[in-house]
């Protein structure tokens, strides 16, 4: 499995729902933001850009474990591995103050070309992930 990347986030007021904790849909944003930061931090963006392909989420499974409130600091851990033709991300969100998990997700992504046809993982990216 490729390197693990961590990202620190702080819960913002507009992410809260009527129960005064973050809305379940906000987790999708946190996980996606962390995936892009993973590519950036591990210098994988050039491989993505050169391929002229786009990444599309085909499947995501989230397990919500604990509520998260306003101004809590969160650590998002991300790791990625290829499972041709997909990239699989394993991610989890941890409450920094307690070190307890708040959520975990497994996300499956596929590359598509300009005509929206599925393509293999670009060789440059595949080499970096192995």
Strands 54-64 and 86-95, how do they pair? unpaired
List all residues 6 or more positions away from 61 whose beta carbon is below 8 Å from its beta carbon.
105, 106, 107
- Distance, in Å, from the CA atom of 66 to the CA atom of 2, rounded to the nearest integer, reads 27
Query: Is 120 one of the catalytic residues?
Result: no
Closest C-alpha among 88, 84, 129 to residue 107 = 88
Give yes or no for a cis peptide into 91 (omega within 30° of 0): no
Mind telling me the catalytic residues?
Answer: 17
């Amino acid at each position: 499995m490729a390197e693990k990347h961590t990202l620190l986030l702080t819960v913002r007021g507009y992410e809260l729902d009527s129960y005064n904790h973050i809305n379940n849909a906000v987790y999708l944003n946190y996980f996606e933001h962390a995936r892009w930061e993973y590519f950036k931090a591990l210098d994988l963006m050039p491989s993505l850009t050169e391929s002229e392909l786009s990444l599309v989420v085909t499947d995501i499974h989230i397990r919500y474990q604990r509520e998260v409130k306003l101004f809590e600091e969160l650590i998002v851990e991300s790791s990625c591995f290829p499972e041709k033709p997909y990239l699989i991300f394993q991610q989890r969100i941890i409450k920094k103050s307690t070190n307890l998990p708040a959520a975990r997700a497994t996300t499956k992504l596929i590359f598509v070309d300009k005509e929206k046809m599925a393509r293999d993982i670009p060789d440059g990216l595949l080499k970096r992930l192995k």
